Every structure is written in C-alpha cells, then in structure tokens.
Amino acid sequence: MLAAGGLRENDVTLESIGFNQVESLITGQQQAAVIYVTNEPVQLRSLGYDVDVIGVAEYLSLVSNGLITNETVLKENPELVRKMVRAILRGVQATVTDVEEAYRISTQHVENLSQADQEVQKKVLQTSIELYQKDPLGYSDPQAWQNMHQVLLDMGLLTQPLDLSQAYSNDFLWREGQE
C-alpha cells in the first residue's frame, strides 16, 4: 500500500496495536489501522462512524487465505488433500447458500459469538461472503502469486526468487457435482 502511494516504510510511523483497531481509531489513538476489510469497517459503521477504506485489492491482487499442506502429504495421500479441499469448499458453498444456517452453526463453535451484536456479526459474515465469489470457488490466481512473490522480494522477506509452480496448485479444486 505504501508503494502504491509513492511512500516507503520510513515515511510513516508503524505501531503494533494488536487486535483493537476499532477502539484505537474511535479514541483517536491511531489515524489509520490495518484491518480486515470484512470486519472493522462493518463494526465502525454500525457505531455511526464514516469509514474510508483503502483496499489493497484496489491496487494489487495478492494471495489471501488458503489451505496449506506439505510435499509428503501431497505425494503419499493426494486423496486426503482432495477430500479436505472438497469439505472446505462445500462448507463455503453451504455458507453462501444459507447464511442464516451458517451463522446459527457458527454460534455453537465461535467463542462469544452468541453474545455479540448479532446484526453486526451477520453483516461481517455477509461482507466476507462477497469476497468468496470466485469462479471456480477456491481458485488461486497465478497473477496474485506473482504479485505476492514480488512484494516479498521487494520487502526483503524473500532473499531469492522461488519457483511458484511449486508453491501452489489449483489441481485439487472440487466443483459442484464432482464426487
């Protein structure tokens, strides 16, 4: 984000604030915060605050959440990987299909969710679902991997280029009707 704005890390003061972005912004402790686009803006808006969100995806497509395993499992038990991917994608699809039921089930497994503001938390879920809309569901974009790779090299978090064909795969994706 800094690079997109023509800035470098030493042009700003970065502070680790933990997971209290909403409170830090409301109280004026911070002028800006790194947030989950599906969470803190929803919370802040529900409290009556106008929110300006600068989404990373508006400037550069990067790799997001995913499922990770190791070479041994991929080689020795690829069917386990296929089943895990299928189970996760079925769960995501079920969530997209019946948001109310997914939320109800979540209250049984997510600590303190049933005591939280239900309207706000359902909006957080709905906002998350909007980001799931990929075709096919679960697809990992090669360009996002290239972009992420370059960012990590530019930041010095990778010291040498990697073979990205060995870093991710769309080979295990499951599609509706496939068993």
Whole-number Å distance between alpha carbons of 24 and 31: 8
Residue 137 has pLDDT above 90, yes or no: no
pLDDT in tens, 139-166: 899 999 999 999 999 989 999 999 999 9
| pLDDT for position 69 | 94
pLDDT in tens, 24-52: 999 999 999 999 999 999 999 999 999 99
- Of 15-29, 76-90, 106-120, 162-176, minimum mean pLDDT range: 162-176
pTM: 0.79
| pLDDT for position 134 | 74
**Cβ neighbourhood burial of 156 (10 Å; 0-12, 13-18, 19+):** exposed
Whole-number Å distance between alpha carbons of 176 and 89: 9
User: How distant, in Å, are the alpha carbons of 56, 103, 105, 108, 171 from that of 111?
Assistant: 29, 13, 12, 8, 34
| pLDDT for position 177 | 56
**Of 85, 104, 89, 95, nearest to 127 (Cα)?**
95
| pLDDT for position 164 | 95
| pLDDT for position 176 | 56
Residue 81 has pLDDT above 80, yes or no: yes
Listed by start position, the domains of the chain span: 3-58, 71-166
Q: Quick count: other Cβ atoms within 10 Å of Cβ 21?
A: 20
Q: How confident is the model at residue 8 (pLDDT cuts 50, 70, 90)?
A: confident
Whole-number Å distance between alpha carbons of 130 and 127: 5
- Of 85-94, 112-121, 166-175, minimum mean pLDDT range: 166-175
Mean pLDDT score of the chain: 91
Helix/strand/coil (H, E, C) string of 31-85? Answer: CCCCCCCCCHHHHHHHCCCCCCCCCHHHCCCCCCCCCCCCHHHHHHCHHHHHHHH
